Structure 1
Amino acid sequence: MQGRCCIIKVGRTFAELAQVYGDFEDWIEAGLGGRGCGCEVIDVEAGAMLPGLDGLAGVVITGSHAMVTEAAPWSLAVEQWLQEVLARRVPVLGICYGHQLLARACGGEVGFNPRGLELGSVEIRLTATACDDPLFGGLPDRFVAPVTHAQSVLRPPPEAQVLAANDHDPHQALRLGEAAWGVQFHPEFDREVTQVYVDRQVDALGARGAEVEVVDTPEAAGLLQRFAALVSGR
């Protein structure tokens, strides 16, 4: 990846999982192209300052175990910063919490999904709009992706394009402006990581827990490499 790319770390995974597999930023960096991808990790949840915009080539915002509606000071700061990033048309990919934060920064509404927790490997359906999208174009109409979330984008920003949906969440992927995307699912999760999240939370689903499955999700994982190529191409 050419230029300066930042991973904005807005949360951390379970401690025992991080000891074995690493954390959100490690999985994202691997998906973008490995440790040679030139990404700088900015741990804003831990108090790190947000980066300046000069020379910024791309931004990825991680997931988090926090809730966007908690409106933590660091989260509000990222939301405000994102408005400046978007104004400069810097490519952005928001994942889960990052997806929701991106939507809120653009005027959307985030809250608890009325259908409850979504967990495991689930089918994602592309909309017709996704066919010509620079990031999603060329993906299968239906693919499987890892998810773990209780909150969702309930109302997208007025100018947002819905690129993917499923029965649980009609806003699984959004495009916001020229070069910003949000995905509710986790392209950085592999099967092992997804299984840990399922094991930790499946009891919360009650009877629905029997329906949860975990499989490999290569199409979802490929979105990170696609994003890296898009940033490099600019």
Structure 2
Amino acid sequence: MARLLVVVPSDTDPPTRLGEWLTDAGLELDERRLSRGEALPADLTGVDGLLVLGGPQSSLDAEEVSPELVEVRHLLGQAVAADVPTLAICLGAQLLAQVGGGSTRVGADGPEVGATLVAKRDAADADPLFGPLPLSPDVLEWHHDEVDRLPAGATLLASNPRYPNQAFRVGEHVYGLQFHIETDPALVRQWAEGDAVGVAGSGLDVETICARATAVHPDLAEVWAPFAARFADLVRARATHRS
């Protein structure tokens, strides 16, 4: 069975539904929760794919503020160098942009919070994961920082008017998603009740954010569960090649 290393920088963003979709697609998930002190491997030996999730840490945190992110960057750098199938979400995508030679900053237009849409770019049509997506898929946003500069040579796959670098690919198999696809309504409520600054920046109240997210979650599953299965195909293909 193909092995996916799942890096959970914070218990506030577990794999949730995405983990279920990837397991259903036949992957073995090796989940490491950093906030519980679970160690990351020194390298990606024996790993067929990598999933890095989000958290309240900032991609701009100094090492002494978020020391756990040092090892996450190290693994992402290895994934880029070896083109290991990777899905990096929100904070993970920002760290990926950094290790690939791009940059992040505090979001110029403030926090982006709640259910919204992104739009595929032309390059997405030829991408094995993004090609089958609808033109403007539903997503769930929850970020304070932004990827302001993509790595040189990265392929931009999705944008929106507020923050253009919503999804990108480095190499052939390493993907960064600024948005979330893994959430369920309970997780969104946890975020909304714990992030007063983000909620205030949205111009909405907690109940409106949660209601809109709950309404869109069936559509998220319809679009992103098949996307997860296509990512699992990449991981399985690497496992076959590695064996």
Shorter-chain TM-score tier: 0.7 to 0.9
- Quickly say closer, same or farther: Cα 1:152–1:222, change in 2 above 3 A: farther
| Of 166, 172, 176, the match for 2:166 | 172
* Aligned-partner Cα distance in 2 for 1:89–1:207: 36
What is the CA RMSD across the aligned residues, in angstroms? 2.3
Alignment of 1:29-44 (within 5 A): 29-34=19-24, 37-44=27-34
AA aligned to 1:223 is F
3-state secondary structure, aligned to 2:234: helix
1:223 aligned partner: 227
3-state secondary structure, aligned to 1:24: coil
1:54 aligned partner: 45
AA aligned to 1:179 is H
Do structure 1's residue 132 and structure 2's residue 126 form an aligned pair? yes
| Of 111, 121, 146, the match for 2:140 | 146
Which digits, 9 at most, give the CA deviation of each residue in 1:29-88, with x for residues without a partner?
Answer: 212124963111123442513253222100000111111110322212221232222222
- Quickly say closer, same or farther: Cα 1:113–1:32, change in 2 above 3 A: same
* Aligned-partner Cα distance in 1 for 2:202–2:97: 32
Kindly indicate whether the alpha-carbon contact (under 8 Å) linking 1:62 and 1:95 is maintained by their aligned counterparts in 2: yes
Do structure 1's residue 191 and structure 2's residue 185 form an aligned pair? yes
* Aligned-partner Cα distance in 1 for 2:162–2:10: 24
Which digits, 9 at most, give the CA deviation of each residue in 1:161-194, with x for residues without a partner?
Answer: 1100111210110101111000011111123432
Kindly indicate whether the alpha-carbon contact (under 8 Å) linking 1:187 and 1:223 is maintained by their aligned counterparts in 2: no
1:16 aligned partner: none
**Structure 1 spans left out of the alignment, 5+ residues:** 14-22
Q: Which range moved further: 73-82 or 166-175?
A: 73-82
* Aligned-partner Cα distance in 1 for 2:109–2:201: 13
Identical columns (%): 30
3-state secondary structure, aligned to 1:122: strand
3-state secondary structure, aligned to 1:70: coil
1:24 aligned partner: 14
Q: Which range moved further: 133-142 or 222-231?
A: 222-231
TM-score, normalised by the number of residues in structure 2: 0.83
- Quickly say closer, same or farther: Cα 1:120–1:84, change in 2 above 3 A: same
AA aligned to 1:5 is L
4+ residue runs over 4 A deviation: none
1:20 aligned partner: none
1:64 aligned partner: 55
Kindly indicate whether the alpha-carbon contact (under 8 Å) linking 2:32 and 2:38 is maintained by their aligned counterparts in 1: no
State the aligned residue count: 224
Q: Which range moved further: 204-213 or 120-129?
A: 204-213
TM-score, normalised by the number of residues in structure 1: 0.86
AA aligned to 2:4 is C
* Aligned-partner Cα distance in 1 for 2:224–2:237: 21
**Structure 2 spans left out of the alignment, 5+ residues:** 239-243
